[in-house]
């Protein structure tokens, strides 16, 4: 079980749990982790997936991008557990629940 947590942004402190994957976006009809208050988050912005214990983040062709370690994610990137990443103007991290 994993925990997706907002570290900074309009939903500071909000969390979502997930087993192996979760979609992040502004529209709750397509994103389990809905960040509707950040207007820089796309309707369907990014996807997190755990594969053999490795966490991957995929940008879903969002308008304002996804950043890991200050670098824009083109396609997908590996994400360390506990490392912050940015969607829109919201800073998030994933930890083990």
Residue 22 clears pLDDT 90, i.e. is over it: yes
In this structure, the strands spanning 90-96 and 2-8 are antiparallel
Residue 61 clears pLDDT 90, i.e. is over it: yes
The mean pLDDT value for 2-18 works out to 95
Residue 27 clears pLDDT 90, i.e. is over it: yes
What confidence tier does 78 reach under pLDDT thresholds 50, 70, 90? very high
The mean pLDDT value for 33-44 works out to 96
- Give the position of tokens 């755990």: 50
Residue 60 clears pLDDT 90, i.e. is over it: yes
In the chain, the percentage of residues whose pLDDT exceeds 90 is 96
Q: Are 91 and 82 in contact (CB under 8 A)?
A: no
């Amino acid at each position: 079980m994993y925990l997706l947590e907002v570290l900074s942004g309009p939903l500071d402190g909000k969390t979502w749990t997930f087993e192996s994957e979760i979609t992040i976006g502004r529209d709750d009809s397509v994103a389990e982790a809905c960040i509707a208050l950040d207007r820089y988050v796309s309707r369907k912005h990014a996807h997190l997936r755990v594969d053999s214990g490795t966490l991957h983040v995929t940008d879903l062709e969002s308008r304002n991008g996804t950043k890991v370690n200050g670098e824009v994610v083109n396609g997908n990137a590996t994400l360390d557990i506990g490392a912050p990443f940015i969607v829109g103007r919201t800073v998030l991290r994933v930890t083990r629940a």
